[in-house]
A = this chain, B = another copy of it.
């Protein structure tokens, strides 16, 4: 196992110590249990935006805590959802009196843990909503699967909703924005190599020297399909076309109903992309692919979207939602309107994403 680590059992703790040492001006790490809040404490009167998930996807989510993005993040063990107590304490620490919005990637574990956490926080009198992100079009079906996974859209949503919180959106409007952005975003990922989880020590899947996995998630799980490696043009075109041509996607997602005071299932439909749409294009490295190759991917994404009549108005290119040292990439397209673009452009100052300030 080729990793810059000490004992695998200590890596979450030690890497968080490193983050804390590096960014004391931006973040404050709590160690028992793990959660990360902004250095300045809760932001009075603003909805606290919180996310969390397994570790191994850095800079997401801890690296996105700071002005203009998250108020808190909960790191789990590597690729393992964090637990309700972490999320509950993070909510208590980050709540500025205007409630908490949990951004939950759609994995069985994350969803269940965040639901329990929301219940605990609500029992403390904190207003909490959970919005589930499920943008991975590699998963076709929500009837015979746990539904689409939450992947690249999460990063864009954390940025845009973070800016909206700074703007003073209340919990309901922030939740609505978050839900809409999730409906507007679609992603697809692929891997050239498998990652190795530190505790496991060997590759999560075997893959031939001339093979790639299409439709992977971000947890070293095998993808939807195994193929011979193709050229970047073929890969990027196939992925971009799949995203652009993905049909309407309908499924039920749970949200808290503040009137009924219980979880309700909301039927949610993502409409397909259409000519004239403006999008943010996000080309992401899975961790082991260098930015030079991402530009090769972006080149094709730009060509394909243009041909389709979709206009890229902003882009993000780099390793932002990773799967340890996996080689590979993901592509996310998210339809945005002018107000969303303005929120995207707003200042952000976090360890992992920074501009305008």
Q: Are A56 and B292 in contact (CB under 8 A)?
A: yes
Q: Across the interface, which residues of B come within 8 angstroms of A302, CB to CB?
A: 18, 21-22
Contact partner of A5 (CB less than 8 A), chosen from B3, B22, B232, is: B232
Closest to A349 in B: B355
Could you tell me the distance in whole angstroms from the C-beta of A329 to the nearest C-beta in chain B?
Answer: 6
The segment from A32-40, A119-127, A250-258, A315-323 found at the interface with B is A315-323
Q: Are A299 and B21 in contact (CB under 8 A)?
A: yes
How many copies altogether? 2
Q: Are B19 and A295 in contact (CB under 8 A)?
A: yes
Q: Are A2 and B296 in contact (CB under 8 A)?
A: no
Q: B-facing mask of A251-288, CB < 8 A → 1, else 0? A: 00000000000000000000000000000000000011
Could you tell me the distance in whole angstroms from the C-beta of A129 to the nearest C-beta in chain B?
Answer: 29
Q: Are A296 and B11 in contact (CB under 8 A)?
A: yes
Indicate if A189 sits at the interface (CB-CB under 8 A): no
Contacts A/B (CB < 8 Å), 21 sampled: A2-B192, A2-B209, A2-B327, A3-B192, A4-B294, A4-B297, A6-B231, A6-B233, A7-B231, A14-B296, A18-B296, A18-B302, A19-B295, A21-B298, A22-B295, A58-B290, A288-B290, A289-B325, A292-B324, A349-B355, A354-B354
